[in-house]
Structure 1
């Protein structure tokens, strides 16, 4: 991996995504936005004040679908261009202009839900009976009835949508455009530093002096921005509290769980059981890393170390394609064809460059193919990262074929199940195709240090921290940097116990993730992976039937609740058993890694 980040204009275009998959030209984009504005005006003129019969309701919603799709495509186009270059003024202006247009359209059309929600349920139910296409949308409106506000208030909130989303955009600008990490020095040698370099390279660095020096320099820069980012975060959670109160929810947490269609019990269980039962297994894993690397003490800055850093193969993008195609071929030829298209038609943006979003994500605009952002490091672990994002792509690739735009997106609770399922399938493939103990240990340790650590530890600890923040906000309090640092440190100390020293800078980890601006997202990673682990277990025990059932689950999109989706896949998440089984499975993998380590050292 190169330590010198290029400007976006200097990267190899063949390795970038091709946004012409959404709009072939800028003119086409502008025409789509104009058409959306025209449709919004027509909907307002034709239906405002007239949504009183099942026929008018369905006629309105049928037209609304087209508008929502246009806005989804245009919004994705504007957002994706910015995500790979936060410093590009033209892209920023396009997104800002679109955001204002979107706010205006949302405000104009807020009457649709407001008028329907005031109707007698009998009329809405009749509309449901007359249109299968609109049924799920209307059922969700009925569910929202008791939390609906006066139409003029709903209109005002819609008009302010771009302003209400400002905390997320401010956070990203500070993180990706303004923070200059410069360089750090070790033994007289200078090393470049950035968000991407730290999270993609230096965190995994085998040299302890370099790794810890990078962590110290990285933390020092974060600390300079802690009060600004804390103020932005306070704005975010106060906004959520205000809206929750307006809508008569008992708490922010209840308000944010409502659209996920999940009970508070499942949310709390996910956090509490992992904090209690997984912690001992992960402490054991941390001690193993300390022993392997000969560290006097295990610190937070050392947790991303590899079990066998000298072994992890370097891999080209072309080689990764072959691994992923073969590993995920168990999902069928149609799925394999999607993977081929993803590589050949430039659905994926690989290069690291200045101003590009960190980490990886998959965007799935309805009416176009998915788009995957990744920061490629030429390491074998990227096979798992890319498989994960292709899990999202495959999910919506199927859901979009079988569901309309109202019904294609499932609850956030379920959203990470297909992605993490792909990581497990890749691990199955790699384990099946090697008898080499060192390779087997690498696969298993990657499952722990990447798949399970990322989803069951990193994001779960975010969730535990986030819950404490909302508890303060629900009691009428506020959060500033010292409070956030204290909460984060206490969560880390509780989980890692005396196995890991929570060194200075670890408390600033809350500044690194954008998930806190996306509602109750962090805990859903472990929720999704719990479902995926149980489905994979069923696949290993029952064979292909489990995967056929799984693909049927993916096709139904958002037409079922998370409990119903999991049930379709053969998993009962109304009990604690799947989660406890998954935690036990993680423990068994760690025990197998320890056993293989002992055997390899003999």
Structure 2
């Protein structure tokens, strides 16, 4: 189906951002004018509170307008990535982004040149500056890491060069790498791409899985020296910028951007390693349920149990999700319905449409959700997940000013995963179909495995490799493969055959080019499970506390936002509690297996 063949009611209403492209162009011209005006304000902040207020007001307005332009252009591009008009529009906003970074690079260094006592008095005494109090405190908090304006401008320009390793990897992974044809168990030839690989890994055809696995990693192996150079270059640039900004290493800088203590990262890894025996039980059960003498890495993603054939219309999916989220209250359900009724969602696939799913939007209008809905149970979970993001954004946008509305990545997956946890609990409670029930438990166990264990393994790999670079070491393909294979064996245990090809998995992970990002999937998942467990238990006041969290944006540090729900991610408890839930579902599936085995005996 081509984009123009989509029914309007199944598409998102981007007219709520810009009614037409004339208005978009007018705002682009306005932003250009504002950037020129902002550049002229450099050197004026020492003139007093009025000058500071003027600069901060323009900074906020400028960023808000840029966000609106950027979101609109890119979402138009995502509707049909082959559309040359919107490719151009999206590219132009990328140029805007680079210009914005350069034009605003003087602001933080100049604020830090102001006397702290004088600045505090101005904020206390001038009502118009009150709303910038937290923003200014966050800058002052990083004072030891911000350089003088000339150096910051130079580093901002060098930042474009620093993207080279990431750009090289993206171009290689998305455009250049090709894979040989493979065959399934019937001998039929299949095309292998980065996109089809995941679907093959979930196939019941083990021959297809094995061939896809070996062919994919065989290609990455051929280019492992090139890809190790890209990985090493990215780690080097991260180390350079961290140390230039007076951090001990890249991890410290990455975590400090969200005010996250390094101990949170280290605690995650330590706690997960302590609970690896639970993962080993999961691996052993997977081997038994699949009826395999040997469990290989190409057996990790296929469902352990029979997949229900049932398909869900989008109307059914909306009702299922809305029903499952009833514990969050009628007001939350009403917001869901508003999104369903008013075209927040782009529902179905079309030629050229961006794959996957996401929630996005611009301050001042409602959030948007992109789907590629096909009617599977997994698609129902995706709807719940993305609407969790969307309603998190809605609550933050309606409670905070622009500068504080955007929530940090550390908490970004909490609302989405909380929705999924509530959904699976409701589905299990209502399910009378033993096949569906086993599938649901399998689905959630695989979510845990993929998010808590796998992302923590990635996080440990990053920690070890960046530490080598920070200490002046060099990363080679052989060294990266050896490290990765050792970790894979440790996390999956002896029941898993860690095939030699898996040593090259590091070479295909895009998130490694945003250092120290992936750990947040695991911490966010743990926090979400802790909160959803409290909601399902009916803990007094938890729904109100959760909505406070949803409304917090970035007006507090992420660790403190989660403490509103009595979840402390600086401690091991939330991670332990999440793994207790994993173990509870594992126990149930183990009992099902034992019962079936006993009946067969």
By the TM > 0.5 criterion, same fold?
Answer: yes
SS at the partner of 1:110? coil
**2:479 corresponds to which residue?**
483
Deviates more, 1:312-321 or 1:105-114: 312-321
Indicate if the aligned counterparts of 1:181 and 1:221 stay in contact, CA closer than 8 A.
yes
* Separation of aligned partners in 2, 1:16 and 1:510: 37
Segments of 5+ residues of structure 2 without an aligned counterpart are none
In the comparison of the two structures, how many residue pairs are matched?
594
Task: Tell me how far 1:354 sits from its aligned partner.
Answer: 7.1
**1:412 corresponds to which residue?**
409
Indicate if the aligned counterparts of 1:86 and 1:177 stay in contact, CA closer than 8 A.
no
Task: Tell me how far 1:168 sits from its aligned partner.
Answer: 3.8
* Separation of aligned partners in 1, 2:164 and 2:311: 40
* Separation of aligned partners in 2, 1:25 and 1:539: 43
SS at the partner of 2:562? helix
* Separation of aligned partners in 2, 1:214 and 1:353: 26
Matches within 5 A, 1:101-120: 101-120=96-115
Task: Tell me how far 1:556 sits from its aligned partner.
Answer: 1.2
**2:367 corresponds to which residue?**
370
Distance 1:538-1:254 versus aligned 2 partners, 3 A rule = same
* Separation of aligned partners in 2, 1:272 and 1:17: 43
Task: Tell me how far 1:340 sits from its aligned partner.
Answer: 3.2
SS at the partner of 2:18? coil
Indicate if the aligned counterparts of 1:438 and 1:600 stay in contact, CA closer than 8 A.
no
Whether 1:185 aligns to 2:206 is: no
* Separation of aligned partners in 2, 1:347 and 1:173: 32
* Separation of aligned partners in 2, 1:244 and 1:589: 42
SS at the partner of 1:362? strand
* Separation of aligned partners in 2, 1:164 and 1:250: 19
Whether 1:257 aligns to 2:255 is: yes
Deviates more, 1:128-137 or 1:559-568: 128-137
* Separation of aligned partners in 1, 2:338 and 2:473: 50
Distance 1:52-1:400 versus aligned 2 partners, 3 A rule = same
**1:205 corresponds to which residue?**
203
SS at the partner of 2:183? strand
SS at the partner of 2:305? coil
**2:294 corresponds to which residue?**
297
Matches within 5 A, 1:83-94: 83=78, 89-94=84-89
Indicate if the aligned counterparts of 1:53 and 1:123 stay in contact, CA closer than 8 A.
no
**1:152 corresponds to which residue?**
150
**2:139 corresponds to which residue?**
141
Distance 1:265-1:465 versus aligned 2 partners, 3 A rule = same
**2:538 maps to which of 538, 542, 554:** 542
Whether 1:582 aligns to 2:599 is: no
SS at the partner of 1:542? coil
Q: Deviations over 1:382-437 (max 9, x none)?
A: 22233222221111111011111211123332222112111111112112222444
Matches within 5 A, 1:397-436: 397-436=394-433
**2:326 corresponds to which residue?**
329
* Separation of aligned partners in 2, 1:313 and 1:212: 27
* Separation of aligned partners in 1, 2:336 and 2:507: 34
Indicate if the aligned counterparts of 2:392 and 2:550 stay in contact, CA closer than 8 A.
yes
Indicate if the aligned counterparts of 2:531 and 2:567 stay in contact, CA closer than 8 A.
yes
Matches within 5 A, 1:208-357: 208-277=206-275, 279-311=276-308, 313-351=310-348
* Separation of aligned partners in 2, 1:334 and 1:141: 36
* Separation of aligned partners in 1, 2:183 and 2:6: 27
Matches within 5 A, 1:446-595: 446-450=443-447, 452-543=448-539, 545-595=541-591
Distance 1:85-1:174 versus aligned 2 partners, 3 A rule = farther
Task: Tell me how far 1:66 sits from its aligned partner.
Answer: 1.0
* Separation of aligned partners in 1, 2:197 and 2:183: 14
Indicate if the aligned counterparts of 1:128 and 1:138 stay in contact, CA closer than 8 A.
no
* Separation of aligned partners in 1, 2:148 and 2:512: 28
Indicate if the aligned counterparts of 1:69 and 1:405 stay in contact, CA closer than 8 A.
yes
**1:121 corresponds to which residue?**
116
Distance 1:297-1:357 versus aligned 2 partners, 3 A rule = farther
* Separation of aligned partners in 2, 1:505 and 1:348: 39
Task: Tell me how far 1:161 sits from its aligned partner.
Answer: 4.4
Task: Tell me how far 1:77 sits from its aligned partner.
Answer: 2.8
* Separation of aligned partners in 2, 1:289 and 1:65: 52
SS at the partner of 1:372? strand
Task: Tell me how far 1:534 sits from its aligned partner.
Answer: 1.5
* Separation of aligned partners in 1, 2:246 and 2:411: 26
* Separation of aligned partners in 2, 1:588 and 1:90: 52
Task: Tell me how far 1:47 sits from its aligned partner.
Answer: 5.3
Task: Tell me how far 1:191 sits from its aligned partner.
Answer: 2.1
* Separation of aligned partners in 2, 1:338 and 1:384: 18
* Separation of aligned partners in 2, 1:302 and 1:59: 60
Deviates more, 1:511-520 or 1:208-217: 511-520
Task: Tell me how far 1:215 sits from its aligned partner.
Answer: 2.0
**1:3 corresponds to which residue?**
none
SS at the partner of 1:498? coil
Task: Tell me how far 1:448 sits from its aligned partner.
Answer: 0.9
Indicate if the aligned counterparts of 2:180 and 2:215 stay in contact, CA closer than 8 A.
no
**1:58 maps to which of 53, 60, 67:** 53
Distance 1:335-1:541 versus aligned 2 partners, 3 A rule = closer
**1:95 corresponds to which residue?**
90
Indicate if the aligned counterparts of 2:243 and 2:249 stay in contact, CA closer than 8 A.
yes
Indicate if the aligned counterparts of 1:289 and 1:305 stay in contact, CA closer than 8 A.
no
* Separation of aligned partners in 2, 1:10 and 1:485: 47
Indicate if the aligned counterparts of 1:16 and 1:350 stay in contact, CA closer than 8 A.
yes
SS at the partner of 1:406? helix
**1:26 maps to which of 21, 24, 45:** 21
Distance 1:230-1:405 versus aligned 2 partners, 3 A rule = farther
* Separation of aligned partners in 2, 1:140 and 1:240: 22
Q: Deviations over 1:271-318 (max 9, x none)?
A: 1211231x2212211221211221121111111121323436333333
Indicate if the aligned counterparts of 2:335 and 2:391 stay in contact, CA closer than 8 A.
yes
Indicate if the aligned counterparts of 2:546 and 2:565 stay in contact, CA closer than 8 A.
yes
Task: Tell me how far 1:523 sits from its aligned partner.
Answer: 0.7
Whether 1:444 aligns to 2:413 is: no
Deviates more, 1:366-375 or 1:348-357: 348-357
